Structure 1
Amino acid sequence: MAGLTDDEARFAYLAEGNAKQARKRVAADVLIRDDRGRILLVNPTYKDHWDLPGGMVENNEPPRKAAERELREELGLKVIVDRILVLEWVGPHGPWDDQLVFIFDGGTLTEDQLASLRPIDPEISELALLEQDEAARRLRPDMTRRLGRALQALVTGSTHYTE
């Protein structure tokens, strides 16, 4: 590239490559429980099924921080999420390109946290703490499978990766 220094030319080359590389949608959900092992689900107003709390990662936002942000924005819940329980690549479907879905461990809520827990974002109509079988009935089948893998990862100390 005429007139550019070596560093400028290298930067321009890398920027062009970055602009052409694939961009992935990324979801960051959180598995949160109470001291009885019940699972926190939310009922989004824009979906037909219930879901784990969380949401979509914004541009250049780390998935862990996105999960924490979504909990604050939707439920007013300040939780530092722990390790990744599930990482799943989901192929293109419907109008959507492929995406990566993270499920983080959000730990166990205290009685005080539970007492003040309520939706504060109009995207969430209600929430519930449910036993695994009832949670599975309210989730989409793909989320039910992810929930099962997340619960297994809690027990085994592993991270489940699937495609």
Structure 2
Amino acid sequence: MARREETEQERRRRIGILNARLPKKRNIAQGLLRNPAGEVLLCELSYKAEWDLPGGVVDPGEPPALTVTREIEEELGLRLPVGPLVAVNWLPPWRGWDDAHLFLFDLGVFAGELDPSLFLPREIAGAHWVRPEAAAEHVAPYTARMLEVVARAPAGGTLYLENSELPGG
């Protein structure tokens, strides 16, 4: 018996049902920006205790690399080229948030001065250059672990992480 081909309307209805039922992942895009001394930029956020890497939540339909560009320009007043993807990090549920994917991009080395007058005050209370080994004093545990793994990884390539660790140890 010949299979009936579904109409465009039927296909859209079926996809609509699947979209309503299938899980939706929150995506986060952040950038790893270093200064000439090798310190990383961490943002002191106005809405949570932990500092974080610059970036934010990916808007629906937005590519993660564009998110990093947009967030850094909106929040820090910087226009930076987004480099290669350093890591994709699956994060389990944490503090009431569902699980998520974090895309970490290399933003290279920034030798300029940060201008706090350009910071988005409702989100950024400050921005600080921190030695990578001291980041754990300021960031969430998953961010500290991710920075440690990234620092130990050979240059080039993209890491796949689960809860900020390489699968299988």
Unaligned stretches of 5+ in structure 2?
1-5, 163-169
Unaligned stretches of 5+ in structure 1?
none
Query: Which residue identity does 1:20 align to in structure 2?
Result: R
Mapping for residues 1-150 of structure 1, pairs under 5 Å: 6-110=7-111, 114-118=112-116, 120-122=119-121, 123-150=123-150
Corresponding residue for 1:159? 158
Aligned residue pairs, count: 155
Q: Is the 8 A contact 1:103 1:150 kept in 2?
A: no
4+ residue runs over 3 A deviation: none
SS at match of 1:85: strand
Is the alpha carbon distance of 1:144 and 1:128 closer, same or farther for their aligned partners in structure 2, counting shifts above 3 Å? Answer: same
Residue identity over aligned pairs, in percent, reads 34
RMSD of Structure 2 on Structure 1 (CA): 1.7
Query: Which residue identity does 1:93 align to in structure 2?
Result: W
Alpha-carbon distance between aligned partners in 2 of 1:42 and 1:67, rounded to the nearest angstrom: 13
Is the alpha carbon distance of 1:94 and 1:64 closer, same or farther for their aligned partners in structure 2, counting shifts above 3 Å? Answer: same
Deviation for aligned residue 1:20: 1.8
Deviation for aligned residue 1:38: 1.3
Q: Is the 8 A contact 1:85 1:158 kept in 2?
A: yes
Higher-helix-fraction structure: 1
Alpha-carbon distance between aligned partners in 1 of 2:161 and 2:114, rounded to the nearest angstrom: 35
SS at match of 1:78: coil
Bigger shift: 64-73 or 88-97? 88-97
Taking structure 2 as the reference length, the TM-score comes to 0.83
Deviation for aligned residue 1:152: 3.5
Alpha-carbon distance between aligned partners in 2 of 1:92 and 1:137, rounded to the nearest angstrom: 22
Alpha-carbon distance between aligned partners in 2 of 1:138 and 1:96, rounded to the nearest angstrom: 20
Query: Which residue identity does 2:62 align to in structure 1?
Result: E
Taking structure 1 as the reference length, the TM-score comes to 0.86
SS at match of 1:156: coil
Query: Which residue identity does 2:78 align to in structure 1?
Result: L
Q: Is the 8 A contact 1:86 1:149 kept in 2?
A: no
SS at match of 1:115: coil
SS at match of 2:29: strand
